[in-house]
Structure 1
């Protein structure tokens, strides 16, 4: 079991860590520009696209679980039709986002109470990056399908190439052409479409034979569509809550001024680095739990759950130790602004605790996605967001100021993990007939 887990998890960890690496490089590039509002604009612009694109995260997550179950049941037609449906949805939604770009931008900038400089440069960033929408969503679907097929190598290749291209282009646009957030946006736009082209090439290279199992009349099969949207409805609600929480965090940081926004943006990048690393094992859990559920292998499913939880806990502990020992040095990689560094050090403790505390909810998300038991994910996320995160923020900020925002975020992670552990025996471990 450990061999199977590591075969899936290691490529996922490598590819996942390249995602926050991009954020680290972008933050460091913009953080060393002469004005702090560039960093604020990058944070707010990133938040807007997180809200847009993470909301369609079900195109990746739901596709992995459903495909893995068809893979376990050796149903080639089922595997192919899932990919066809997700691509149809991805391109339709991507083009719709582009058509609605003006109202999306106006509403987003109205909601976020930032300074005029931050708002102006956020709009510059938004107007360029919005055109990545179809490619981003199509990549979600393709990478999710690859993972469901127990192939973590292809998503790793695509993600690493994507982010390395993005980094090189961003450095070129900012350092050579003397651009700012517009350079970051152009780098993202170009690299995303190149990555999509690579993903299509890899699909054709290995899975071209599956095209013979495409049946046009099955594309809109009512039962299959109902199954697909039932799973993805819950994931969509769960993801919206997650996006709301991180967006609220960024918006409240912006409300407290550009300095607080800059410091919290850097610390949030460290949260992302830890989450993407641990998510390597969460993705492995998705693939393996889905496969064993498709095979009706109860013992294999239980081992996949317990072993992935163990690996996630170990990686979370390593992250906590690393942030505790090297936190001050890491902050200086992101910015040379003394005020930002001093403020970030004041609340660094919460980031040190994050990898260990959050590891349970990350892995359990993967378990429930793989089993397509998405109802508990929806319920626990709603509870964690509205019954714990928001009250903790409003009470905490009154009592401990900036620490209240970070306390709310940590409590949000703890509640998610604890609630999913409560559901685990009845909905996953003892349910396969």
Structure 2
């Protein structure tokens, strides 16, 4: 089992590690400008794209679990139609976002807190990066489908390529052409074009047999589409809760001034680094639990869960030690502004706790997605979100910015606890 887990987890870890690396590079490029407003602008613009991209991440998550179950049943037509339905929805959503881009950024910046200068720079960032939306959302679908096919290598190749191109492009646009926030946004557009072209090449290399299973009538079949959307809808609401929490976190940070926004944005990169690492094991859980659920092997599901949690706890402890011993030095990766570093250091202890409070929620997410237990997953997330806002409301007046970080830890911990309580209600145990 360890071999199966690592075969899927390691490529996904390598894939995911390039994502926070990209965020770190963007923070570095803006953190070494002459003002903290550039860091805040990228953070605020990134929040809007969390709405845009995380909002459609449900397509990847629902697709990977359902495709893995189809793989476990060896149903090639079902495998094919999962991919094509996902791509239809992805392209439609991307084109709709392009048409509504002015409304999206206008409403977002009215809701979010922040200085006028930061908001203007954030909108400049958005209007460039939004042109990658149809391709970026489609890539989520393609990578989720590859993972459902038990193929973690192709998503790794695609994501590493995207992020290497993104980093190189951003450095070129900012350092050579002297662009600011528009430079890091344009780097994302170039990278997604390259990544989408590469994904088509890889698909045709190994999965051309899937094309013969395409059927227009099956594509728009109400039963198949509604079945897909039913699972996707629950996962969308679950993802929306995460978006709301992180958006609120960044917005309240901005409301406390540009300095707190810059400090909290730098510290969030630590959380993203850990989360993308643990997501490697969550993706392994999606693929394995999905396959075993499709094959109706309850014993193997239970065995996979035990091993996955062993790996999750081990890496949570490693990250706890990394942040405790090297957190001060890691901050230098993001900025050379001493006031930002000093402010971030005051809240660094909260980051040290997050690996322990958060690791179980990532592992459980993968298990629930693989079992397509979307409704239970949605309910646990709703409860955790209530916990976050309740704690923040009670504590914001007495401990200020510390209330945000304490509430974030409680949010992560309660997700894992509620999912543990609901575990025995997964459908795989009722087969």
C-alpha distance in 1 between matches for 2:308 and 2:60 = 20
C-alpha distance in 1 between matches for 2:9 and 2:41 = 34
Per the alignment, residue 420 of structure 1 pairs with: 419
Per the alignment, residue 392 of structure 2 pairs with: 393
Q: Deviations over 1:17-63 (max 9, x none)?
A: 10000001110111010011011100000000011110111111000
C-alpha distance in 1 between matches for 2:400 and 2:428 = 42
Pair 1:85 & 2:71 matched: no
CA offset at residue 429 of structure 1? Answer: 6.2
C-alpha distance in 2 between matches for 1:368 and 1:426 = 11
Q: Deviations over 1:41-94 (max 9, x none)?
A: 000000000111101111110000000000000000000010010000000010
Superposition map of 1:28-427 within 5 A: 28-386=28-386, 388-427=387-426
What is the TM-score normalised by the length of structure 1?
0.98
CA offset at residue 426 of structure 1? Answer: 2.4
| Stretch of structure 1 that moved more, 221-230 or 361-370 | 221-230
What is the TM-score normalised by the length of structure 2?
0.99
Q: Deviations over 1:241-296 (max 9, x none)?
A: 00000000000000000000000000001000000001100000000000001101
SS in 2 for 1:372: coil
Q: Deviations over 1:87-107 (max 9, x none)?
A: 000000100000000111110
Q: Could you tell me whether the CA contact under 8 Å between 1:368 and 1:428 is conserved in 2?
A: no
Q: CA RMSD in A?
A: 0.9
| Stretch of structure 1 that moved more, 196-205 or 209-218 | 209-218
SS in 2 for 1:430: helix
Q: Could you tell me whether the CA contact under 8 Å between 2:37 and 2:117 is conserved in 1?
A: yes
Q: Deviations over 1:164-217 (max 9, x none)?
A: 000000011111111110000110011111101101110011001111111221
Q: Runs ≥4 in structure 1, deviation > 4 angstroms?
A: none
CA offset at residue 152 of structure 1? Answer: 0.2
**Where in structure 2 are there 5+ consecutive unaligned residues?**
none
**Where in structure 1 are there 5+ consecutive unaligned residues?**
none
SS in 1 for 2:179: coil
SS in 2 for 1:333: coil
Q: Could you tell me whether the CA contact under 8 Å between 1:302 and 1:429 is conserved in 2?
A: no
CA offset at residue 430 of structure 1? Answer: 2.5
SS in 1 for 2:151: coil
Q: Could you tell me whether the CA contact under 8 Å between 2:371 and 2:426 is conserved in 1?
A: no
CA offset at residue 333 of structure 1? Answer: 1.5
C-alpha distance in 2 between matches for 1:332 and 1:84 = 44
C-alpha distance in 1 between matches for 2:197 and 2:166 = 15
- State the number of aligned residues: 431
C-alpha distance in 2 between matches for 1:426 and 1:255 = 41
